[in-house]
Amino acid sequence: MPFLKKSGLHLHYEIYGKGTPLVFIHPPVMGSETFRYQKELSQYYQLIYVDLVDSGRSTKRVEETSVSRQAEMVHALIQKLKLPPVVVCGYSNGGSIAQEFALRFPEKTRGVILIGGFPEVSTFLLGREFDLGIWAAKNEWLPLFSYVLPAAHFRSKQHQKEMAHFIKQADAKTLQTIYTEGKQYVSTDRLNQLSVPVLLIYGENDIVARPYIKMFYQQVQDLQVVLVSGVAHQVPTKRPAQCNEIIKGWMTRKQLDH
């Protein structure tokens, strides 16, 4: 079982396929199980799945959990694997880490994919979601996380069970810090520094994250936005076929598939 070992941390990762490296970055505590339905893309690209801190098989209790620090961890993994510039794909709050990676390490970035992404937490609904996460973690309600998050993403009871297994092992204090620092993250005033293609994917019914599209339009030069019908936030798991086709089509159009 491969791990990145750095500064006392053990980050679990998995690699599938060959081709352009595509690094998937999950939301807090959900782990790489989030992208189980994207594995079919390994027919075309090299997929790198990583369990970030307090998630999956990686180290649980961690003090440094800022978005910037987690972007550095992803960069350390890419350096260890001696990968060429990668396409980073972040889902929900994982999109903040993807943005920060691209901004801090432009020489290692070929493209950015954000699924339900946002450059800051400035709307009422998103702020309330983060506040709920912070409150639940503070009160050590990990059983709540282990029920709500898998149930919101998977119809399969087995897939729910597999994600819940790892969520139950999380460290509540670390999770609280991750949510707190994620709420404070802002990249809006730096988005114009992105010089690579950016793809935004949103569920058509996502009333929480969709309002942030305008911020990206105002700042990012090479931008494509795709709305997926019949789904809210959980595009990778509720509409995996459409999600994968959107990614594949965009990679081809932007000549990122070779």
Q: How many domains does the chain have?
A: 1
Q: Looking at the whole model, is its pTM more than 0.95?
A: yes
CATH no. for residue 35?
A: 3.40.50.1820
Which residues are within 8 A (CB) of 252 and not within 5 positions of it... i.e. 6 or more apart?
Answer: none
Joined tokens for residue 196? 């690579």
Is 124 inside any structural domain? Answer: yes
CB contact burial 67-79 (16+ within 10 A = b; e otherwise): bebbbbbbbbbbe
Asked whether residue 122 is domain-assigned, the answer is yes
**Token digits for 32?**
């790489």
- Check residue 205 and give its pLDDT: 98
For residue 5, the surrounding DSSP H or E stretch is strand 3-6
Per-residue pLDDT of the chain (258 residues; tens, 9 = 90+): 688 777 777 899 999 999 999 999 999 999 999 999 999 999 999 999 999 999 989 988 888 899 999 999 999 999 999 999 999 999 999 999 999 999 999 999 999 999 999 999 999 999 999 999 999 999 999 999 999 999 999 999 999 999 999 999 999 999 999 999 999 999 999 999 999 999 999 999 999 999 999 999 999 999 999 999 999 999 999 999 999 999 999 999 999 988
- Do 202 and 228 form a contact (C-beta atoms < 8 A)? yes
Q: Which residues pair with 225 in a beta bridge?
A: 200
In a domain, 258, yes or no: no
* Rounded Cα gap, residues 62 and 175, in angstroms: 9
Largest CA distance in the chain: 48
Range of the domain at 221: 3-253
> pLDDT tens-digit profile of 125-182?
999 999 999 999 999 999 999 999 999 999 999 999 999 999 999 999 999 999 999 9
